[in-house]
Every structure is written in structure tokens, then in C-alpha cells.
Amino acid sequence: MSAAEQKKGTTPTTNPRIVIVDDEPSIRKTIEGVLHDEGYGTVAVGTAHELFNVLESESPLLVLLDIWLPGMDGIETLERLRQLNPSIPVVMMSGHATIATAMKATKLGAADFIEKPIDLELLLKSIRGALAGSVTSNLTQEQSSAGATKAPTNTDRIESLNKIALSKQALPGRSFNQRTLKNSALLYGQGLHTGKKSGLILEPLPAGSGIHFAEVSESEIVPAHVDFVDSTGFATTVKFGNSQAGTIEHLMSALHAYGICNLLIKCNGEVPVMDGSAIEFCNLFDNIGIEEQNEPWKEIAIDRTYKFGSGKEEITLEPAEEFSVHYTLIYPPPVGTQEYEYTLGSIESYKKEIASARTFGFVKDIGWLQKQGLALGGRFDNFVLFGEEGPINCALRFNNEPVRHKILDAIGDLYLLGRRLRGRVKARMTGHSDNVAILKQVRQRLAELA
């Protein structure tokens, strides 16, 4: 700090301290070092729960609060903090937030919003301004004047979720225990189609809640259910009100394989594509652990043959003892004709045979897709790009990786009734729209039997 600033009486105190709330240890350490050099005392924590523990014993000088936190996210934390002690200035931080999230944070009382990677000089300027009570947000005047709604608390969310029951128990098959995750989890990534940086917060929910998506900056919750599917062009998107979640099929596929049926999923409008497959979601579930909820959950036993499409593009669903997908893919070389059948059994078999199969595309199509506003986040490490001679950006994980990925997608889309199906799927050159269409036929049958 300069001598001129010290003469003005702005020398920071060491008690009370600035609380840094960020789930990434490296960021906490970096900010702590900078603030210590400037003479500030600090305490660094990784969750909202730890922040509120600090607030029980002291009133900090200021809170630096990340948007993406496991458990209670930054917006919910900010709202609760304003209720507990509205006099504490809060500076929000995120590299994975939309402008709507930033607007909501400032409307809820945040003094400023800093984007990651953090410019440390800008951060210090923001802190000094917040402490002086005269900070001007980085948002433009036009953006700052927009309205924002009250952010829901976790309690509000769960009360809403419990009003949305799982699908009625028509066509019941075998009974399983309901499952959720043992703890909250957090992932960072990028949207395949929007190209935006995105975070993903997974929160356990009570038995009977179902799987639901939410955006950090919106209050509406979107059930992961076929009734809420909004679009199926190159990915599956669910939407309700102002909230939507796109490219959900890879995550839904992993949830299907693990039998997880109660979960709240927060994202920035699109689930991160990760490496283009479902394996990173599987690894996360393995690390966090699965909780058996000891409440019954019956599969849907397919009672007759359902069919959608004909000729080159066709999908059927018929009665069987297990859930399986037989898929035929027919493309010109170098992909060629590929045929594969997979029966959804153990988690280990899913991880070995299906989960690591990545999404794929063709060089000739990339320009057109991006003109349509799609594949904007496609990088050389999150999908397989085929040229005339074969993959040009990576080695295949399986010699028939494309058809395995089509099965991965189908497993995800066909979980959008909230329960597992017991039946055999036979598909040829189908995609998300076909998967959803056949599922709507089953949904109609359930309605008839209800």
C-alpha cells in the first residue's frame, strides 16, 4: 500500500479479518498471500458451512465469496449472509458465471463481482472500494438496472421438489432401493455447444424427490423428465420457465447406470461436456460415494412393442428381462457400419464398455454446426473429430467408439421417466429426438394405466 493511502487512514486492520471462501485451495493460497502482503488478516475456507462457522465467532472485515461452492452455492450463501449480517461487504468471484448470475449477485447486495482468472490489482481495488463503501460494480449501467428475483434457499428448493412426485407406479417391474450421493460435489468444465465456461454442483436429495436441474441465477427448478424436454437438436435440453439445462444426456447416462434417482443439479444452462464421455461423472460418483435410501423404487416393465420411425432411422422398444440397447450405425468410411449391443448390468461393466466412449463429429460438419450456434465449445480434447482417413485429433478408445457413444446417449435419454426401463431397445441411425419420441409413447401408456 502506498504512503499516500496510509496518510488517508486507509491502512487495513488485521482484526477483524477478510474471509476467503473458495473451493480451490490454490486460489485461496494465492489470495491469502496477496492480502497478507497488503497488511490484511485473513481466514480461508472452502464451503459455506465453514464460512458460517467463522461468523459465529467473529464479524469479518469483508467476505470474498466464490459462486461455485459444494453444497450451498455462492448465491444462496450471499442471501443468507445478508440476512445474518447485512453490514459485511461481499465481493463475489467466479470464472464460470453468466452475466445473469453477476446481476443477481449485485442485486442481492454484493459490492462487486470479479471474474477469474483474477487480476490481483483489480481485486485489491475492489476490496478497498467495498471497504470504503463506494465501489462501482464491473457491470455496465444498463446491465445493473435490470431486475432480479429473490434467490431460493435450499429449504425452499427441497420443499418444491417434494411436491413433484416420481412417475406413477404403472407397469411396475422389480423393486430397488432409491439412491443419492453421500455428499455434495462440484465439477468445472465447458459447454460443448454454448462454449461457455460452466460449473456443476450436485446436491443429494431425500427419497422421493427425483432428479432436477437448476440454474444458479434462476429460481425455477427443471425436473429431469420427458415432459420438460425442450429441444433435442444434437443434445437433449430440459426447460421450465427461465431455467434450462442442455447436453444432459451424458450425466443422465451415468446416473442411470449408478441407479441414482434423487439429486439436484446446478449448472449454467448446459452441463459441462468434460472429455465428451460419461467417465468423469462416474469417477466423481465413485469418489463421493452412493447413499442407499432404503425406500422402494420400481422399474418400468415394458409391456408391449413401441416403435418410432421407419426405414433408415428407426427405434423400437419391446419387453425383455433386462434393459439393453442394440444399436446399428451406418456412415461412410472411415466410420463405416458399426453394430453393438449392451445390457445395462453392473456399474463396472458400464464403466468398462460404455462410459468412456466420447461424442464424435466430422470435419465437414463443424463449420455448419458453428454457424447454427452449436459445437462452440468443441475442443480437441472433448470429442472425436473424424476426417476422411479417420480421427485427426486423438486415438480411439474402442475400434467402434461411435456406436458405443450412441448407446451411452440412449441410456441417458431413456432415463427421463425418473425410473429405469426393463425392455430391449433396438435402434438404427437414431438420435436424441427419436429416443425422446419413443419415451413419450411409454409416457402416454403410463397415463392411460394411471
SS (H, E, C) the chain: CCHHHHHCCCCCCCCCCEEEECCCHHHHHHHHHHHHHCCCCEEEECCHHHHHHHHCCCCCCEEEEECCCCCCCHHHHHHHHHHHCCCCCEEEEECCCCHHHHHHHHHCCCCEEEECCCCHHHHHHHHHHHHHCCCCCCCCHHHHCCCCCCCCCHHHHHHHHCCCCCCCCCCEEEEEEEEEECCCEEEEEECCCCCCEEEEEEEECCCCCCEEEEECCCCCEEECCHHHEEECCCCCEEEECCEEEECCHHHHHHHHHHCCCCEEEEECCECCCCCCCCHHHHHHHHHHCEEEEEEEEEEEECCCCEEEEECCEEEEEEECCCCEEEEEEECCCCCCEEEEEEECCCHHHHHHHHHCCCCEEEHHHHHHHHHCCCCCCCCCCCCEEECCCCECCCCCCCCCHHHHHHHHHHHHHCCCCCCCEEEEEEEECCCHHHHHHHHHHHHHHHHHHC
Residue with the larger pLDDT of the pair 257 and 166? 257
Instruction: Please determine, for residue 298, whether its predicted confidence score (pLDDT) is greater than 50.
Output: yes
Instruction: Please determine, for residue 87, whether its predicted confidence score (pLDDT) is greater than 70.
Output: yes
Alpha carbons within 13 A on the beta-carbon side of 391: 18
Instruction: Please determine, for residue 6, whether its predicted confidence score (pLDDT) is greater than 50.
Output: no
Question: Residue 103: which pLDDT band, with cuts at 50, 70 and 90?
Answer: low
pLDDT recorded at residue 110: 85
pLDDT recorded at residue 64: 95
Map out the domains of the chain with their CATH numbers: 3-144 (3.40.50.2300), 176-449 (3.30.1700.10)
Q: pLDDT by residue (tens digit) across 208-262?
A: 889 999 887 666 789 999 999 998 877 999 998 888 899 999 999 999 999 999 9
Q: pLDDT by residue (tens digit) across 41-79?
A: 999 999 999 999 999 998 899 999 998 888 888 889 999
Average pLDDT, the chain: 82
pLDDT recorded at residue 150: 37
Question: Residue 162: which pLDDT band, with cuts at 50, 70 and 90?
Answer: very low
- What proportion of the chain, given as a percentage, has pLDDT over 90? 49
Question: Residue 365: which pLDDT band, with cuts at 50, 70 and 90?
Answer: low
Instruction: Please determine, for residue 447, whether its predicted confidence score (pLDDT) is greater than 80.
Output: yes
CB 160 within 8 A of CB 215: no
Report residue 259 as a C-alpha cell: 441407479
Distance CA 105, CA 103 (A): 5
pLDDT recorded at residue 147: 31
Q: pLDDT by residue (tens digit) across 303-328?
A: 999 999 998 999 999 999 999 999 99
Question: Residue 366: which pLDDT band, with cuts at 50, 70 and 90?
Answer: low
Distance CA 111, CA 129 (A): 9
Highest mean pLDDT among 36-40, 225-229, 351-355, 369-373: 351-355
Distance CA 430, CA 1 (A): 63
Catalogue the active-site residues: 432
Report residue 168 as a C-alpha cell: 406413477
The model's pTM is 0.72
pLDDT recorded at residue 149: 34
Instruction: Please determine, for residue 34, whether its predicted confidence score (pLDDT) is greater than 60.
Output: yes
Instruction: Please determine, for residue 164, whether its predicted confidence score (pLDDT) is greater than 80.
Output: no
Instruction: Please determine, for residue 151, whether its predicted confidence score (pLDDT) is greater than 60.
Output: no
Report residue 221 as a C-alpha cell: 427448478
Instruction: Please determine, for residue 140, whether its predicted confidence score (pLDDT) is greater than 50.
Output: no
pLDDT recorded at residue 94: 80
pLDDT recorded at residue 402: 97
Instruction: Please determine, for residue 438, whether its predicted confidence score (pLDDT) is greater than 50.
Output: yes
What are the distances in angstroms from CA 201 to CA 167, 263, 265? 25, 10, 6
According to DSSP, the residues that pair with 362 across neighbouring strands are 386
Question: Residue 81: which pLDDT band, with cuts at 50, 70 and 90?
Answer: very high
Question: Residue 449: which pLDDT band, with cuts at 50, 70 and 90?
Answer: confident
Q: pLDDT by residue (tens digit) across 342-362?
A: 999 999 999 999 999 999 988
Lowest mean pLDDT among 13-27, 218-232, 278-292, 400-414: 13-27
